[in-house]
Amino acid sequence: MKTLLKQKCTVMMLPVDAVGSMVYCGSFDMLVKFWEGNKNYAHEGVFKGHKLAVLCLATTGTFVFRGSSDNTLCMWKHKGLIHMCMTVLMGHDGPLKCLATEENHEYIARGDQDKH
């Protein structure tokens, strides 16, 4: 076992991507931190952008979704360690407390990993 970070804020979610190459941590400090599994889980970076606590995270393929107390959902795409914000969805009536993803196996069978 390994301690990834001495977190000062409450950790809300710790998803691992499907191939185990990335671990993400969402917490009350409004940040998402990530570690790369191929480098013995070395801390690689931080996502910023929410105005309140990150309450939920989900991953599928090359996408990371995060929901927040600020009533927004952010969708990020990653290629290796590079993460790019694709969109921010607003208009939810309350905090986003739970996310789930499902892989589209039809696209995976054809080798298109980006369409999940």
Give the chain's domains with CATH numbers: 11-109 (2.40.128)
- The string of DSSP codes covering 32-66 is EEEEEGGGTSEEEEEE---SS-EEEEEEETTEEEE
- What pLDDT score was predicted for residue 105? 54
- What pLDDT score was predicted for residue 1? 61
Angstrom distances, CA of residue 96 to CA of 12, 26, 41, 85? 12, 13, 28, 18
Read off the pLDDT band of 110 (50, 70, 90): low
Contacts of 39 (CB under 8 A, 6+ apart): none
pLDDT digit string, tens, across residues 40-77: 888 888 888 778 889 999 988 888 999 999 999 999 99
Angstrom distances, CA of residue 56 to CA of 45, 69, 75, 91? 18, 9, 12, 17
Give the three-state DSSP class for 88. Answer: strand
> Model pTM?
0.77
